[in-house]
Amino acid sequence: MEKVFLHDFFYILPRHRATQASLNEWLAIAHQRVIELTKNNDTPLPPSLRYMISDPAIQHRYIELGEINTDWESHQVYRLTSDSHRGASIEKRGQVFQQRALEVFHDFYAKRSTAQHLIHVTCTGYISPSAPQVYFATKESAPAITHAYHMGCYASMPAIRLAQALVSSGQATVDVAHTEMCSLHMDAATHTPEQMIVQSLFADGHIVYRASAQQPKGESLKILLIKEKLLPDSKQDMTWVTSSYGMQMSLSKDVPTKIALALSGFIEDVCQELDVNWEHLQANADFAIHPGGPKILTLAQELFALDESQIEASKIILRERGNMSSATLPHIWQRLLERPSDKKYVLSLAFGPGLTIFGAVFERVST
């Protein structure tokens, strides 16, 4: 397959930045508010609130909604009142997503040239016609558009696989654009431990980057390998489904263990396909690990015996941004390109519904 390079990364910050402590405090208030609205006043603050992530590994998260206050009547999505104790419907949440996504695409392309093809990636807002279709409909120069939706945290991997195929088939340039707004999908009426983890982990993020056959000036990532594996007997461990009041994630406590047990075999297959030994790859790679949570990064660092510098970019993005679903790995890739390193490779891993492990190996190149 023709050489394909990833480069020209550009992100848009969501409109609001909040500390992890303040977001957790608001979540606790919102959950107690729903208990009171549903006349369960004898029910104490849910014990499951202790499962909210307060680890210093996450210090801030960026979100699009500025509704982290108790002025419930004024909220668009989290209008937790007697007649709407679960907040806005999924239809309304979709409208909020579309409006903001249009603004993001305007900012993406205010100074950016248009590629021949655009792949739009998201798992937090599905509207047709989509935001990029609406945005480019009025432009003289518009790309062909492909949608890569509903794949969760690992979605950047199949997206770059699509981009690689498009470039190899003759499309000179392909942009991959992520618009993720996880903050639209909190449900304060669901008090389970897994929902406390989910609601205190996910954040919003927007990023676009380019795939091309021609090596660009400066730093870029050359795609060497993209691989996936669906773990058997795991479909119940992580799901992402639509509900009446937003998207709903299920997350089993067994996820870290199942990933840990499968990773060694997965990496063996990666090395075999690349025709390199693990010792060489491990010593000469930075690692871009999707931070599904702080424990995932700790697990990966221990399993692969990584120096702190090899996994630092993943930790920084989690600490500064939280888990931005599919937009997270591209933020880490950008961070690695901007940071001096003597490592030749970038080994990237992500995990998502299925339970699926996705991996990619890139080579750092520069001109």
Mean pLDDT over each residue of the chain, to the nearest integer: 92
Q: Which of 194, 348, 353, 358 is nearest to 262 (CA)?
A: 358
Q: Which pLDDT belongs to residue 131?
A: 97
pLDDT band of 190, cuts 50, 70, 90: confident
- pLDDT interval class at 301 (50, 70, 90): very high
Distance CA 92, CA 121 (A): 20
Q: Label residue 1 by pLDDT band (50, 70, 90).
A: low
Whether residue 293 is predicted with pLDDT greater than 90 in this model: the reply is no
Q: Dihedral of the CA atoms 212, 230, 58, 304 (nearest 10)? A: -90
pLDDT confidence of residue 71: 94
For CA atoms 7, 174, 161, 214, the dihedral sign is: negative
C-alpha 165/C-alpha 169 separation (Å) is 6
pLDDT at residue 43 tops 60 = no
Q: Considering only CA atoms, which of 160, 161, 166 is closest in space to residue 207?
A: 160
What was the pLDDT predicted at 44? 60
Q: What is the mean pLDDT of residues 72-95?
A: 93
pLDDT at site 49: 83
Do 296 and 256 touch, CB atoms closer than 8 A? yes
pLDDT at 113 over 90: yes
Q: Is the pLDDT of residue 20 over 70?
A: yes
pLDDT of residue 239: 75
Domains parsed from the chain with CATH numbers: 219-366 (3.40.47.10)
The C-alpha atoms of residue 361 and residue 345 are separated, in whole angstroms, by: 7
Q: pTM for the complete prediction?
A: 0.95
pLDDT at 83: 87
CA–CA gap between residue 261 and residue 291 (Å, rounded): 17
For tokens 């108790």, name the residue: 70
pLDDT in tens, 308-360: 999 999 999 999 999 999 999 999 999 999 998 999 999 999 988 878 999 99
pLDDT at 33: 92
